Amino acid sequence: MDAFISYFPLWDKLTESEKDRVRASLTFRQIRKGTLLLDGSDNCTGLLLIRSGQLRVFVLSEEGREITVYRLFDRDMCLFSASCMLKNVDFHMTVQAEKDTELWVIPTHVYRQIMDQSAPVANYTNELMASRFSDVMWLLNQIMWKSMDKRLAAFLWEESAIEGTLRLKLTHETIAGHLGSHREVITRMLRYFQQEGMVKLSRGCVELTDPKKLAELAQE
Amino acid sequence: MDAFISYFPLWDKLTESEKDRVRASLTFRQIRKGTLLLDGSDNCTGLLLIRSGQLRVFVLSEEGREITVYRLFDRDMCLFSASCMLKNVDFHMTVQAEKDTELWVIPTHVYRQIMDQSAPVANYTNELMASRFSDVMWLLNQIMWKSMDKRLAAFLWEESAIEGTLRLKLTHETIAGHLGSHREVITRMLRYFQQEGMVKLSRGCVELTDPKKLAELAQE
């Protein structure tokens, strides 16, 4: 419980009875890499607070294509896993653990009840949503006004920063999924990057050989 | 003031002193078609409540290209004209009157002060944001995976041919089932079709008002 308190930014703003309710309903879960936490149809899992690990939040098209909307890391809260409590949300997100992940789950109805009464909790929820909204607006801008080479360069560069390595274990298929593109398009673009000396390709692996040049391309 | 009260959904949820503050700071503005209300750099104009007219909210790229994110009509509130009060918002929207528009402006600092204290106001703001978030997610899906509009247009057109009528007795749920989609997706798409003059919606019924345009869309 001590760990939760130090991770949950709202704790000090709760009344004693609210704290009791959170305490009594909280669960801790350990999730294997690859697990789907939310499959796009159920949005009532609860609010997720990540202790450690990494979640990918993405949308799926009707044809099964996907695009990464944002990622969540240590101390992040996943709001859309409780979107059934939010009026006017009519879209579906899918959430998958990209690494082994430990997290706390606050049941949706408990959070909702507290939020209904508490201005600080409601305002915090607002901030969370604004933050995700900004992520989505950024993505929209990327898609609208950045050509695929810049998006791919940005993706590889960020991925390298997240993983802390220049050797990324990623298939072209996976990259295509992240960028909402087709494998063929990504393969072609990666080969071009390789010709330009920015990456080196091998089976299931993309090695960044000139991260500076990639970063420049991403920021063009 | 009476008109404002009947348009402002939060009025009954305000305390007397909050009502006084809104009353004292409220302004009414008449805006000519074409006027820019927000130019993407200033986000502190205030909360706008539309009495009549139409606003277009769009984003601009650095090269000056634009994309409509959503539109606001009578009784809608414009939140991002007060986005300076929202933490974690790092994008800029541009707002332009598409028709002559009459609206009330609640100053940002007044709304912010009330929202900080009041759970109902904070929760209402949340709903507003969730609603705009849904608009943006819809747009994102449209951009990424345009095909659903074509599929729906084709479905309506075929159904009309099969039934021998332009008035289709179909719920959105049923249509979603036909297309392997979600009801919300269909509802939103049908509303878009209605805005474009292709259909007219009423309870349990979709009337094709421009079957030629639908057929063209289906075949694109």
Q: How confident is the model at residue B147 (pLDDT cuts 50, 70, 90)?
A: low
Give the model confidence (pLDDT) of A153-176 as tens digits: 999 998 998 889 999 999 998 998
How confident is the model at residue B39, as a pLDDT? 76
Give the residue extent of every domain in chain A.
2-144, 146-219
Q: Higher confidence at residue B131 or residue A60? A: B131
* CB-CB neighbors (< 8 A) of B123 in chain A: 115-116, 122
Q: How confident is the model at residue A219 (pLDDT cuts 50, 70, 90)?
A: confident
pLDDT surpassing 70 at residue B59: yes
CATH architecture of A2-144: Sandwich (2.60)
- When pLDDT is averaged across residues B83-99 and rounded to a whole number, the result is 86
- Give chain B positions within 8 Å (CB) of A136: 133, 136-137, 140
Which residue of B lies nearest to A116 if distances are taken between CA atoms? B119
**Given pLDDT bands bounded at 50, 70 and 90, which one contains residue A180?**
confident
Say whether pLDDT at A150 is over 70: yes
Q: Is the pLDDT of residue B198 over 80?
A: yes
At the topology level, CATH places domain B2-136 in Jelly Rolls (2.60.120)
Pairwise CB contact (< 8 Å): A123 & B127: no
In the CATH scheme, what architecture does the domain B145-219 have? Answer: Orthogonal Bundle (1.10)
Chain B residues touching residue A115 (CB < 8 angstroms): 119, 123
Cβ neighbours of A140 in B, within 8 Å: 59, 67, 69, 136, 139-140, 143
Q: In this prediction, what percent of chain A has a pLDDT beyond 70?
A: 97
Cβ of B140 and A145 within 8 Å?
no
Closest alpha carbon to A39 in B7, B166, B35, B182: B182
Per-residue pLDDT at A178:
85
B116 touches chain A (CB under 8 A): yes
What mean pLDDT value characterizes chain B? 88
CB contact under 8 A, A90 and B129: no
Phi, psi for residue B123 in degrees, rounded to 5: -70, -35
Tell me if A141 and B61 make a contact (CB, 8 A cut-off). yes
CB within 8 Å: A62 and B181 = yes
Tens digit of pLDDT for each residue in A4-45? 999 999 999 999 999 999 999 999 999 999 999 887 676 788
Question: What is the pLDDT at residue A149?
Answer: 86
* In the predicted structure, residue B18 carries a pLDDT above the cut 70: yes
Is pLDDT above 70 for B63?
A: no
Asked whether residue A62 carries a pLDDT value surpassing 90, the answer given is no
- A68: buried, middle or exposed (CB in 10 Å: 19+, 13-18, 0-12)? middle
**Under an 8 A CB cutoff, do A134 and B91 touch?**
yes
Q: Is residue A219 within 8 angstroms of chain B, CB to CB?
A: no
B133 vs B140, higher pLDDT: B133
Model pLDDT, residue B53: 94
More confident residue, A95 or B196: A95
Mean pLDDT of A74-94: 89
What pLDDT, on a 0 to 100 scale, did the predictor assign at position B125? 95
A residues 92-111 lying closer than 8 A (beta carbon) to B? 92
Query: pLDDT (tens digit, 9 = 90+) per residue, A122-137?
Result: 999 999 999 999 989 8
Point out the least confidently predicted range of B80-89, B95-104, B113-122, B198-207: B80-89
> Pick from B123, B129, B145: which is nearest to A61 by CB?
B145
pLDDT at B128: 94
The predicted model gives A65-94 an average pLDDT of 88
pLDDT score, position B64: 66
Q: What is the 3-state secondary structure (H, E, C) of chain A?
A: CHHHHHHCCCHHHCCHHHHHHHHHHCEEEEECCCCEEEECCCCCCCEEEEEECCEEEEEECCCCCEEEEEEECCCCEECHHHHHHCCCCCCCCEEEECCCEEEEEECHHHHHHHHHHCHHHHHHHHHHHHHHHHHHHHHHHHHHHCCHHHHHHHHHHHHHHHHCCCEECCCHHHHHHHHCCCHHHHHHHHHHHHHCCCEEEECCEEEECCHHHHHHHHHC
**Where residue B146 falls among pLDDT bands split at 50, 70, 90?**
low
Tokens of A172: 């072209």
Mean pLDDT of all residues in A37-60: 88
The third-level CATH classification (topology) of the domain covering A146-219 is Arc Repressor Mutant, subunit A (1.10.10)
Nearest-CA distance B41 → chain A (Å): 16
Note the pLDDT of residue B84: 86
**What is the rounded distance in angstroms from the CA atom of residue A157 to the CA atom of residue A127?**
28
Q: Over 90: is that where the pLDDT of B47 sits? A: yes
* Predicted-assembly ipTM surpassing the 0.85 threshold: no
